[in-house]
Amino acid sequence: MEPKPWRDRIHDEDALLQQLNGLVTEAADRRAEALLEGVADLGTVADVARDLRLSWNAVDKAIKKHERRKAGGTTTT
């Protein structure tokens, strides 16, 4: 069996990367929704960050990125 031509392999890998990027975006959105639930439960971003042993900045950035994506209607990371 001959190997696939390089152009076909590139096309296949590009399709896979597009699919994986979509999965990453969906996971990031679900994570941000959970972080927002944590803020509703605990009261502040800082409280969620402390509870998860993350930096306040990491939690805040994840939420804001999700809100920008939701407001803009885009699905890119």
Q: What are the tens digits of pLDDT across the range 4-61?
A: 999 999 999 999 999 999 999 999 999 999 999 999 999 999 999 999 999 999 999 9
Is pLDDT above 70 for 74? no
- Alpha-carbon distance values, 51 to 35, 41, 44, 59 (Å): 11, 11, 11, 11
**Closest of 25, 21, 38 to residue 65, by C-alpha:** 25
Query: Is 28:65 a contact under the CB 8 Å cutoff?
Result: yes
User: Tokens representing 72?
Assistant: 């803009």
Query: Is 63:35 a contact under the CB 8 Å cutoff?
Result: yes
Give the helix/strand (H/E) hosting 13. helix 6-42
